[in-house]
Structure 1
Amino acid sequence: MPRLEDETIVVTGANSGLGFEATREFAQRGATVVMACRSIERGEDARREIEATDPDGKLDVRECDLADLESVERFAEGVREAYDSIDALCNNAGVMAVPRSETADGFETQFGVNHLGHFALTARLLEPLRAGGETRVVTQSSGMHERGEIDFEDLHGERDYDKWDAYGQSKLANVLFAYELQRRLDAAGIDDITSVAVHPGYADTNLQARTGRESGSKLVYAGMKLANTIFAQSARQGALPMVYATVAEAVDGGSYVGPGGFLNMRGAPEEQRSSDRSYDRETAKRLWAVSEDATGVAYDLPTSGDGPSSA
């Protein structure tokens, strides 16, 4: 990793798991990291833990609840006021396979937090990203996006809800968003912002623990703990694709980065191919329009055409 003095990086979900590990890596190399956390208390605990390692960078904990678009707007406004520019946005926070519930804005929680919250946040931070020179938008997906389909007739699972199908849909939406953002940046002639999708492979984070707890089954919870112990790589290793996509010199816009080892579940990061559905441009355009309508935010970017993009 290069030195990151004078770099400002925003990380959502920075207080735990992949976000915490990425934040620690960035701070150790001199970056100022804006820690976007749903809980200020947990964010401050994470900040103190990282600062105990005497990092070269600075940590700025700010409240950002991706399940509440007003909170997203307040967070983005605060960042714009405090920083003239930012060098990277890591759309990392997420929930996985939880029982059906709704966000403050009435969205199904997984689709609302994993996709719509980050869609709105990226739009509201586009101005400081453009002011940062060569900048990155890195969106965390999952290998489970391969299971996903975008059900435009029932996006929020009101008629039929399966928690894993909903998770797969939200993670496919992450990849579709990352690729469509790159295409629209290309169409606008904006070549100094790079949009990349990543996945961590199978990493031991609190997502599995929460899924196990909220399943209501002690057997499921125990099974997930056992699987994490036997098969998962550490959260620090799982954060490497996101770190790589954020700071590596040669990363193509519209690419997909994940672990290159066994079944793409562990190992060093590499550029990979995502699912066939993730390259469907008509689905991506439709999802973009639906997302703008749902969140009430609009990107000052032209509709994507068939211009340059690896997606």
Structure 2
Amino acid sequence: MNKFILPVSVFGTVCGCAVLVKNYVTGGPCPSKARIPGKTVIITGANTGIGKTTAEELARRGGRIIMGCRDMEKCEDAAREIRGSTLNPHVYARHIDLASLKSIRNFVEKIHKEEERVDILINNAAVMRCPPGKTEDGFDMQFGVNYLGHFLLTNLLLDKLKDSAPSRVINLSSLAHILGEIDLTDLNWDRKKFDTKKAYCQSKLAIVLFTRELARRLEGTGVTVNALHPGVVATELGRHTGMHQSNFSSTTLSPFFYLLIKSPQLGAQPSVYLAVAEELEGVTGRYYDVMKEKEPAAQSLDQEVAVKLWDISASLVGLETSVSAPASPENVTMVKHSQAAVAEGERTRTHPVETVAAS
């Protein structure tokens, strides 16, 4: 038996260290104990994963929680579960499909009618590396759901957020944004060969650009906006990745990945931190890697690209374009190209895939 003591001890030590790294070096619990009674929080993709846990944490802190989800059956079940676990009766399920501009507008219309205020908006929902597909309006699925849908949702809620100031917008991006490239002439992958990994990275880079540009435009309003990478979290988001497509990796390697990948409970802590931390009041336009402020990728600091992306996005979703970017021939051409791509996508779009919580 003695010959097994050393290997078992080493294995136990490695496992213990891995768990410590996972739980603390990569984040740990939110350090803020602040409560938010009377504040209304909207969270997209809140029926599972990070979104659901974020909703539960903020409900426990006294917030009025609006869970925006595509699958209403799952959303109602999750809301019921959270009401029971937190004893907070103010947790509500509302329908929103971020792959549909009409659905987003209907959601916002309902919010304007039913809610007096919106104090915190957490743009959490996402799809990741899914097969080629288009949204209801003809956008690339990852660009449309992860970025454009939240771009429209946030803009339509700005008046409510301003009236409720000080208020906060939190955008879930990803470390993958550092690999992202913004092709302003083909945001929907209609001309070049589709690459699901590059499409995901592009959508997450767009979120960081959007965050910084929105923060600039909201200066002096009392509304802050920040982006975050929650870490590597065990959610349904990665179901289209190679690990989940291979029987070997999903069965043999899963136990080892579990030692290094955070639970949704830990994955939600950065969102909770940015939502409630008193020391972050007034802090805006920043990027957080878990709960530490970091400099985002160099390409996300290009304000000219951010402004052009904003104006193209506004045109695509039917909002007024910005007066901060001159309507140069180059800008006009890019908008026309994007609109033409969307029109073509509407004729060939496929059925949307399910939207799940970000990680």
TM-score normalized with structure 2 length: 0.77
User: 2:230 maps to which residue?
Assistant: 200
Alignment partners' CA distance in 1, 2:73 and 2:177? 31
How far residue 242 of structure 1 moved from its aligned partner, in angstroms, is 1.1
For residues 222 and 296 of structure 1, do their structure 2 counterparts lie closer, same or farther at Cα, with a shift above 3 Å needed? Answer: farther
Does the 8 Å contact 1:94/1:110 carry over to 2? yes
Amino acid at match of 2:39: E
User: 2:176 maps to which residue?
Assistant: 144
Alignment partners' CA distance in 1, 2:129 and 2:55? 25
Alignment partner of 1:170 is 2:203: yes
For residues 148 and 31 of structure 1, do their structure 2 counterparts lie closer, same or farther at Cα, with a shift above 3 Å needed? Answer: same
Amino acid at match of 1:255: R
For residues 124 and 222 of structure 1, do their structure 2 counterparts lie closer, same or farther at Cα, with a shift above 3 Å needed? Answer: farther
Deviations along 1:266-297, one digit per CA (max 9) or x if unpaired, are xxx12111111111101101110110011112
Amino acid at match of 1:243: V
* Uncovered stretches (5+) of structure 2, i.e. residues with no partner: 1-32, 326-359
User: 2:264 maps to which residue?
Assistant: 235
Query: In the alignment, which of 291, 303, 318 is matched to residue 281 of structure 1?
Result: 303
How far residue 225 of structure 1 moved from its aligned partner, in angstroms, is 4.0
Alignment partners' CA distance in 1, 2:252 and 2:313? 36
User: 2:113 maps to which residue?
Assistant: 81
SS of 1:60 mapped into structure 2: strand
Deviations along 1:106-155, one digit per CA (max 9) or x if unpaired, are 00000000000000000111111111120001000000011101012221
How far residue 9 of structure 1 moved from its aligned partner, in angstroms, is 0.4
Alignment partners' CA distance in 1, 2:258 and 2:183? 34
Does the 8 Å contact 1:11/1:91 carry over to 2? yes
Does the 8 Å contact 2:207/2:227 carry over to 1? yes
How far residue 52 of structure 1 moved from its aligned partner, in angstroms, is 2.3
Amino acid at match of 2:238: Q
Query: In the alignment, which of 275, 281, 284 is matched to residue 253 of structure 1?
Result: 284
> For 1:44-59, what aligned pairs fall within 5 Å after superposition?
44-56=76-88, 58-59=90-91
Cα-Cα RMSD:
2.0
| Identity of matched residues, % | 39
Does the 8 Å contact 1:5/1:57 carry over to 2? no
* Uncovered stretches (5+) of structure 1, i.e. residues with no partner: 260-268, 305-311
SS of 1:10 mapped into structure 2: strand
Query: In the alignment, which of 112, 118, 128 is matched to residue 160 of structure 2?
Result: 128
Does the 8 Å contact 2:98/2:145 carry over to 1? yes
For residues 47 and 212 of structure 1, do their structure 2 counterparts lie closer, same or farther at Cα, with a shift above 3 Å needed? Answer: farther
Pick the structure with more helix per residue.
2
Does the 8 Å contact 1:31/1:57 carry over to 2? no
Alignment partners' CA distance in 2, 1:224 and 1:81? 49
How far residue 231 of structure 1 moved from its aligned partner, in angstroms, is 1.7
How far residue 224 of structure 1 moved from its aligned partner, in angstroms, is 7.6
SS of 2:278 mapped into structure 1: coil
* Structure with more contact order per residue of length (Cα contacts < 8 Å, sep ≥ 6): 2
For residues 161 and 271 of structure 1, do their structure 2 counterparts lie closer, same or farther at Cα, with a shift above 3 Å needed? Answer: same
Count of aligned residue pairs for this structure pair: 291
SS of 1:61 mapped into structure 2: strand
For residues 223 and 84 of structure 1, do their structure 2 counterparts lie closer, same or farther at Cα, with a shift above 3 Å needed? Answer: farther
The structure 1 segments of at least 4 consecutive aligned residues displaced by more than 2 Å after TM superposition are 54-57, 209-213, 215-228, 301-304
Alignment partners' CA distance in 2, 1:82 and 1:228? 43
